[in-house]
């Protein structure tokens, strides 16, 4: 009886500690190198830029773009609605809720696909799901989605269909890549009178 009491005094508090610890802290589901290799080799992490463009045009609420480049690069340009999770800070506690969740389809992107792939590998190894990689990265996005090249006359119909889709997607996403920077100049000019008009209104209000 005395032994049983002693045992109870030791194991019940240990059990309470385990019961109080969050479940995901206890069972870490790491992939074996073989499993990771198999997934990476099959390219299951990639989402095509066309699929992303479609989701963006449809304003799919489940899509969440994650920019893994540096904050400076993110400030210079980011995709619509993207959040910035720099690769160097990927494991920071503040980003855990973003990366480990089951509500959104997270899509990592970087300039190419190397950094985004690294982010995917790390999060996959942590057992996180619903993370993907934008195939080809921003470079492909700019070169093919926002400023699509017209296919040759001899191309199959699918090429034209894709070209048409990309053209309309680019228009909807404010794209045209290089074109947009050119057209943005008059847009700024056009905006200027509006600003001056506002400035005029202010004194008017003062009177």
Partner 1 sequence: MGPLAPNELISENTNFLLAFFIGIAFGWVLESSGFSSSRKLAGIFYGYDAVVLKVFFTAAITAMLGLLFMSLFGWVDLSLIYVNPTYLTSAIIGGVVMGAGFIMGGFCPGTSFCGAAIGKIDAMVFIAGLFIGVYGFAFTYGWWEKLYLANYLGEPKVSEKLGMSDGLFGLFMILAAIGMFLVAEWAEKKFPREEY
Q: Which residues bind partner 1 (CB under 8 A)?
A: 1, 4, 7-8, 11-12, 14-23, 25-30, 32
Phi first, then psi, for residue 105 (nearest 5°) are -95, 105
Cβ atoms of 79 and 49 closer than 8 Å? no
Q: Which residue lies nearer to partner 1 by CB, 6 or 114? A: 6
Selection from 95, 48, 40 nearest residue 68 by Cα: 95
Q: Which residue lies nearer to partner 1 by CB, 124 or 166? A: 124
Q: Which residue lies nearer to partner 1 by CB, 13 or 71? A: 13
Q: Which residue lies nearer to partner 1 by CB, 23 or 197? A: 23
Task: Tell the smallest beta-carbon distance from residue 129 to partner 1 (Å).
Answer: 14
Q: Which residue lies nearer to partner 1 by CB, 29 or 89? A: 29
Instruction: Read off the DSSP letter of residue 47.
Output: E
Rounded Cα distance, 33 and 104, in Å? 26
Q: Are strands 83-84 and 105-109 parallel, antiparallel or unpaired?
A: unpaired
Task: Tell the smallest beta-carbon distance from residue 109 to partner 1 (Å).
Answer: 29
Helices within 28-177 (DSSP H only): 33-42, 49-57, 71-76, 96-99, 114-125, 137-140, 157-172
Task: Tell the smallest beta-carbon distance from residue 29 to partner 1 (Å).
Answer: 5
Phi first, then psi, for residue 64 (nearest 5°) are -135, 115
Task: Tell the smallest beta-carbon distance from residue 124 to partner 1 (Å).
Answer: 13
Task: Tell the smallest beta-carbon distance from residue 44 to partner 1 (Å).
Answer: 19
Task: Tell the smallest beta-carbon distance from residue 123 to partner 1 (Å).
Answer: 16
Tokens 């005395």 locate to 2
Q: Which residue lies nearer to partner 1 by CB, 47 or 126? A: 126
Kind plus residue range of the DSSP H or E element containing 84: strand 83-84
């Amino acid at each position: 009886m005395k032994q049983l009491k002693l045992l109870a005094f030791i194991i019940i508090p240990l059990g309470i500690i385990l019961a109080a610890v969050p479940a995901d802290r206890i069972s870490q589901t790491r992939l074996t190198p073989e499993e990771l290799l198999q997934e990476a080799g099959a390219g299951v992490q990639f989402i095509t830029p066309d699929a992303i463009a479609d989701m963006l045009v449809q304003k799919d609420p489940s899509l969440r773009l994650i920019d893994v480049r540096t904050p400076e690069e993110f400030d210079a340009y980011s995709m619509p609605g993207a959040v910035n999770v720099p690769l160097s800070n990927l494991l920071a506690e503040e980003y855990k809720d973003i990366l480990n969740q089951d509500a959104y389809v997270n899509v990592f992107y970087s300039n190419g696909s190397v950094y985004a792939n690294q982010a995917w590998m790390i999060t996959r190894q942590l057992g996180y799901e619903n993370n993907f990689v934008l195939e080809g990265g921003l470079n492909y996005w700019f070169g093919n989605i926002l400023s699509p090249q017209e296919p040759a006359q001899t191309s199959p119909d699918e090429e034209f269909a894709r070209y048409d889709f990309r053209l309309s997607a680019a228009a909807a996403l404010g794209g045209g890549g290089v074109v947009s920077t050119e057209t943005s100049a008059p847009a700024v000019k056009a905006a200027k009178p509006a600003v001056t008009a506002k400035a005029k209104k202010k004194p008017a209000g003062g009177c």
